Amino acid sequence: MASSTDSDISIEFPFFRVYKDGRVELFRPHWDKIPPSDDPITGVRSKDVTISSEPPVSARIFIPKLTSPTQKFPLLLYVHGGGFSMLSAFSPHYHHFCSTVSAQAGVIVVSVEYGLFPARPIPACYEDSWAALQWVASHVNGNGPDPWLNDHANFSKVFIGGDSAGGNISHTLAFRVGSIGLPGVKVDGVILFHPYFGGTEDDQMWLFMNPTNGGLKDPRLKPPAEDLGKLGCERVLIFVAEKDHLYTPGKDYYEELKKSGWGGKVEVVENHGEEHCFHLHDPKYEKAVELTNKFVSFIKQD
């Protein structure tokens, strides 16, 4: 018979609860995943690749329809959201979003499957995503492990993007590129959809998920001006939604980036009356279409 302490809750967060015996119970432990597929209407093809077996990191790659055997496309590294503990690059709404963007923007998309809490606590998500970006860069001389990237990726026009937790991770990737470089790769732009940064009730949850955290001033949680000034890209596009609890951190990031001394161009797009990541849940909704169109035009801009 289980002791009473086995079911005693120590602390409860929005995405999981922790019991006094140390067990973690996710509120959404399972989510749908779909296999890669070819879109007969747009001609976009997709496949899954292994980036690392230990630790386990993989990705789903999307490539637009080819009009010539030597055609080159920009490349987008996409980092999904889910509170560092949920969802997948293989979830239906991420698959469809990346496929749509690949078709409309004419871009190769590498959608990262990174480690999630509690199986792999933070900083696994950051390290896995950086490993994925380095894997992308390993193709710059045409002799990397994936033929699609060897033959068709334009490494002078690379983008990094993500939503929610993935927006936070995307920032850290751009900071690393600006700090230590990524030889042969030019990151043109970074796109943050409703990004998570410090300043909300979620902060204590992030700290719990990251046993090696640096407190509320951890630069991944609250990027300081010196980090913002080092972003390794030329343009940043930030989306915020009025009814999203991450609205203020997203706006604050925009304002702090403008004051940081960073030499690039930053733009913020506000969606009034909308909730967190609304565009992923109903992609045919008028404002979701507008958001996607803005994202696509940002990638296609010369």
Judge whether 170 counts as a catalytic residue: no
Distance between CA atoms of residues 238 and 282, nearest Å = 20
Length of the chain: 302
Q: Taking 50 as the threshold, does the pLDDT of residue 4 lie above it?
A: no
Torsions phi, psi for 261 (to 5 deg): 95, 0
Which pLDDT belongs to residue 285? 97
Helix (H) / strand (E) containing 24: strand 24-26
pLDDT in tens, 127-149: 999 999 999 999 999 999 999 99
Q: Of the listed 188, 202, 203, 244, which one is catalytic?
A: 244
Looking at the fold, whether 174 and 291 belong to one and the same domain comes out as yes
Looking at the fold, whether 218 and 285 belong to one and the same domain comes out as yes
Looking at the fold, whether 19 and 88 belong to one and the same domain comes out as no
pLDDT in tens, 35-92: 999 999 999 999 999 999 999 999 999 999 999 999 999 999 999 999 999 999 999 9
Judge whether 164 counts as a catalytic residue: yes
Looking at the fold, whether 25 and 151 belong to one and the same domain comes out as no
> What's this model's pTM, rounded to 2 decimal places?
0.96
Residue 100 structure tokens = 């749509």
Looking at the fold, whether 18 and 86 belong to one and the same domain comes out as no
Looking at the fold, whether 13 and 38 belong to one and the same domain comes out as no
Looking at the fold, whether 124 and 168 belong to one and the same domain comes out as yes
Identify the residue whose tokens are 């590498």.
Answer: 110
Q: Taking 70 as the threshold, does the pLDDT of residue 150 lie above it?
A: yes
Judge whether 95 counts as a catalytic residue: no
Q: In what order do the strands lie in the sheet with 16-19?
A: 9-12, 16-19, 24-26
Q: Of 290, 294, 173, whose CA–CA distance to 238 is shortest? A: 294
When pLDDT is cut at 50, 70 and 90, the band that residue 7 belongs to is confident
Mean pLDDT, residues 104-109 taken together: 98
Q: Of the listed 164, 171, 188, 279, which one is catalytic?
A: 164
Which pLDDT belongs to residue 61? 98
Looking at the fold, whether 155 and 223 belong to one and the same domain comes out as yes
Which pLDDT belongs to residue 302? 79
When pLDDT is cut at 50, 70 and 90, the band that residue 5 belongs to is low
Q: Taking 50 as the threshold, does the pLDDT of residue 2 lie above it?
A: no
Looking at the fold, whether 26 and 94 belong to one and the same domain comes out as no
Q: Of the listed 93, 95, 276, 279, which one is catalytic?
A: 276
- What are the strands, taking DSSP E only, across 182-264? 187-193, 235-241
Tally of CB atoms within 10 A around 270: 14
Is residue 81 within 8 Å of residue 49, measured between CB atoms?
no
Looking at the fold, whether 6 and 135 belong to one and the same domain comes out as no
Identify the domain containing residue 160 by its residue range.
34-300
Kindly give, in sequence order, each residue whose CB lies less than 8 Å from that of residue 96, ignoring residues fewer than 6 positions away: 283
When pLDDT is cut at 50, 70 and 90, the band that residue 3 belongs to is very low
